[in-house]
Amino acid sequence: MRAFEPDHLRADVHSSPNSGPRKDGKRVSFLVLHYTGMETGEAAESWLTNPQSEVSAHYIVHEDGRIVQMVPESERAWHAGQSSWKGETDINSSSVGIEIVNGGPLFDFPGFAEPQIDALIDLCKGIVSRHGIRPEAVLAHSDIAPARKIDPGEKFPWRILYDAGVGHWVSPSPIRGGRFFSLGDQGQPVEALQSMLALYGYCVPIDGVFGTTTELGILAFQRHFRPAKVDGVADMSTIETLHRLLSALPALTV
């Protein structure tokens, strides 16, 4: 395995062969967070550095807070797969990817350890600073690939990261009654909802039809920004939270 100097000073290096140059001169503009979804961190690290796996990430953050860098930030890691955000479909070439050790569905979606989150915040701050990544471009794997992925899941503490200066967040609007949209609904209000999702970055059609792709986009949005109820139904809480997130973006983005 090749040696390289870590970009994060507190990271150990365990080089992965599963990487390459960023394509078409793309620069880092996204930070994507994953969970490993495997039994142990050691198993995940071994898989991410195995040439037969054809997957990798720039970093893995273990439960005790230990950070291992597997791919230099200057290179393209293979962590995002088929994905899209704000029209960009080669997320691997325009992102840094972090795997966070967590068993996910294997262990009934456990919480994340405090030392792990503390180390992750420190790591994210450095990455965001080095590459000028905007707060709203700190993303979940499920945000960029809602049809395939659910990580890092609704138990991931996005609010704690935001309070520490990482990512974009507003307190979710309370869950209550009122008008809602769900699978099969059609019309201009659905088109307006789709337009808001697309404006934030989600890959959804703007056709006025609440189909499966729109439902998956709502599920991904809820996992990240309204995790108390993840059901794919665009209720008033979901719609209001989305509107407030858009309103909180810098004017040049909206």
Tell me how far the alpha carbon of residue 101 is from its chain's centroid. Answer: 15
Considering the candidates 99, 136, 154, 215, report the single residue annotated as catalytic.
99
Cα 41–chain centre separation: 19
Q: Which residue from 97, 225, 111 is spatially nearest to 167, judged by alpha carbons?
A: 225
How far is the C-alpha of 14 from the C-alpha of 25, rounded, in Å? 26
Q: How far is C-alpha 150 from the geometric centre of its chain's CA atoms?
A: 9
Half-sphere exposure of 167 (CA within 13 A, CB side): 24
Residues 205, 200: Cα–Cα separation, whole Å: 13
Active-site residue flag, 99 = yes
List residues with catalytic annotation.
99
